Every structure is written in structure tokens, then in C-alpha cells.
Amino acid sequence: MSTQGYTPQEVAAMSGVKLSVVQKAITARAIPARTDRRTHRRQLDATALLALALVRSLPDELHLTANDAYRLLKRSQEAGEHTTVSIGDCVRIDTGKALADVRRRMALYEQARQRIVSDPDIMGGTPTIRGTRITAQSVLGRIEYGDTIDSILEDYPYLDRETVEVASVYAKANPPRGRPAGKLCRPAS
């Protein structure tokens, strides 16, 4: 896993939890966050991301707070156990199964940090797939509007399936900031 932290937006995108839930957990100090000195943005570690995803994956009957999930995951990591978490003597959670999708998205995101670049000379600095002029947002937009990965690969035969998935995960975790481009007002008719 990455030693680099994740922003609340990245945690929300990878864990499937709403951004407001992540922000509330940070504010309530249910999960620890630190401030990146360079960007002055809050950062969470991988355990915090997994804790929020674990809470989301559990059935409603089993109530577990983000703080408790974080502590349980930290304790199991320190003990060298990465597949189960125990709550008392009766409840055992198979974290390997419960967090498999999230761990896959985390691995894709780590690849995205290498494959997606932002160069002011290419597409005005919009994040693109390395070596192309294809933006991560355009890939995500196509997927969200019903295109399949196969149809994207037909249009861009020099890409592979994993690169399309990586671009999609990256775009979800890093939405465009600021005002949308374009005209601010419509002309009067």
C-alpha cells in the first residue's frame, strides 16, 4: 500500500462512501487525518480508507463506528493478520472478502498516480493518460454515459483495459475543480 496519503475526495471515491461522511468522520476525529505541508490539504492513510469502506460494507444490523473499525484494522495489521477482524469472541469479519473491491480500486489508483499525468503543455494541464491526449475525465464520462470498456478500446486501440479502468478511477477521485469552462451567461433571445 501507499505511504502517501489520500485526500478526502480520493477516500470517498475509492471506498464508496459519500464525501460528506468522510468529512464528518475527520471533523469528529473518528479517523485520524494529517495536513500535507506542501498542499495544505487533509490526508488520510490507507487504514482510514479501509475502515470507512468496512463500515459501509457491513449489514445494518451490525453497527460499527469508523473509529472502532479503524482501531480494529490497525490492531490486526500490527498483529500481522490481514484477512480477519474479531469483535469480541463471537464476531469475526472476513476483511479479505469485505474489502476486496476497495483494495482493487486502491491498487488501480496507485497505478493511476504513475499513468495519469498533468502537463500544462498538454490539454492545458488537464490530467491525461501518459503519452496520449486522452483525458481521464473523458474516459470516465464515456463510462458513466453507458459506453463499455470494449467500445472505448475500439476507439483507442493503443490503450489496454487496465489503463481505461485506471483513468476512470483517477477521474472519480480527482474531479475538476473550479467553475465549469464555457460562457457564463446565455445571450438574450
137 within 8 A of 126, measured Cβ to Cβ: yes
Nearest-CA neighbor of 166 among 92, 132, 116, 93?
A: 116
Nearest-CA neighbor of 174 among 144, 137, 142, 139?
A: 137
CATH for 116-173 is 1.10.10.10
| Span 133-140, average pLDDT | 90
pLDDT 10s digits, 26-63 = 999 989 989 888 888 889 999 899 989 988 888 878 88
| Residue 53 zone, left/alpha/beta (φ > 0; ψ -120 to 50; rest) | alpha
Please check the confidence at residue 137 and state whether its pLDDT lies above 70. yes
pLDDT 10s digits, 153-182 = 999 999 989 999 999 989 988 888 777 666
pLDDT 10s digits, 54-107 = 888 888 788 888 888 888 888 887 766 667 776 777 777 777 888 888 888 888
Please check the confidence at residue 3 and state whether its pLDDT lies above 60. no
Q: Is the pTM of this model over 0.85?
A: no
Nearest-CA neighbor of 50 among 89, 78, 22, 87?
A: 22
Q: Where in the chain are the domains?
A: 8-98, 116-173
